[in-house]
Amino acid sequence: MNEPIVYIHGLMNGLAHLNASEHFTPRKVLVPNLVGYGANIAAGMQVDLLAQVEFIAQLFDQQGIERAHIVGHSVGGAIAVLLAKAHPDRVTSIVNVEGNFTLKDAFWSSKIAAMSPEEVAEFLRRDRSDPRGWLVRNRIEPKPDRIAWTKAMFETSPLGTVQAVARSVVEITSRPEYLADVRDVLDAGFSMHLIAGERSRNGWDVPAFVLDRAASFQIQPGVGHMMMLEEPEEFVSLVANTI
């Protein structure tokens, strides 16, 4: 139970502000920028989900981590599954926070994946220039700290990276092999804990076999898909109570 905890953010880098370490002391906690996000420049790398899996595995090596609990939000939930499939010896458990299981969970990714780069820039222009308005449109009270976190989320999520990851999400989760990988991970004995926001739970397309075999399923009250921007302390506490 002393293994580190590694958070994997989604299509948008919405976890960087988390102050998670105090909830897990003395265990190590990592909240990295995935490849192409923030200061983690892609430098010519192919930015897809499999590249993110290998980045996490390499990060473990750099940090001297043998195994860790993986907390994956949205797209990060899919990356967590792929990591457990590709590197089963590196994963202790998975906390899947409204992670992508099917294309129904990838509505935004599907829309962005089909656009030209110019269309993506225009599509996200309003959100990137008006974080307060983005919060309001997503039914989140625009408190100053939330505005700052949302501004940072957009600033550390470059348009090219967002579209490349969105296209990879669509490609991978549309394949029947992806749900077969999810089954394989559960068959291998990994504990998969599920966390959803109260407002967004009904829109999360969790397969029946995952629900049947989940180690736990917790609902964070009063929040939606971006629960870590709405109530980050409650979100981290919920994760801490899970693992």
pLDDT tens profile 50-94: 999 999 999 999 999 999 999 999 999 999 999 999 999 999 999
At 42, the pLDDT band (50, 70, 90 cuts) reads low
Which sign, positive or negative, has the C-alpha torsion 139, 140, 143, 149?
negative
Q: Say if residue 39's pLDDT is above 70.
A: yes
Q: In sequence order, which residues have a C-beta less than 8 Å from that of residue 26 and are 6 or more positions away?
A: none
Q: Say if residue 225's pLDDT is above 80.
A: yes
Q: Over the stretch 140-174, which tens digit does the pLDDT of each residue have?
A: 999 999 999 999 999 999 999 999 999 999 999 99
At 46, the pLDDT band (50, 70, 90 cuts) reads confident
Mean pLDDT computed over every residue of the chain? 95
3-state secondary structure of 219: strand
At 19, the pLDDT band (50, 70, 90 cuts) reads confident
Share of the chain above pLDDT 90, in %: 90
Backbone angles phi, psi at 23, to 5 degrees: -80, -15
The count of structural domains within the chain is 1
Query: Given 3-state DSSP classes, what are the helix, strand and coil percentages for the chain, each rounded to the nearest 5?
Result: 55, 15, 35
pTM for the full model? 0.96
Q: Over the stretch 88-131, which tens digit does the pLDDT of each residue have?
A: 999 999 999 999 999 999 989 999 999 999 999 999 999 999 99
**In a 10 Å sphere around its CB, with 0-12 CB exposed, 13-18 middle and 19+ buried, how is residue 134 labelled?**
buried
Cβ atoms of residues 118 and 185 within 8 Å: no
CATH of the domain at 50: 3.40.50.1820
Q: Which domain holds residue 237?
A: 5-242
Identify residue 47 by its one-letter amino acid code.
V
Which sign, positive or negative, has the C-alpha torsion 157, 230, 7, 171?
negative
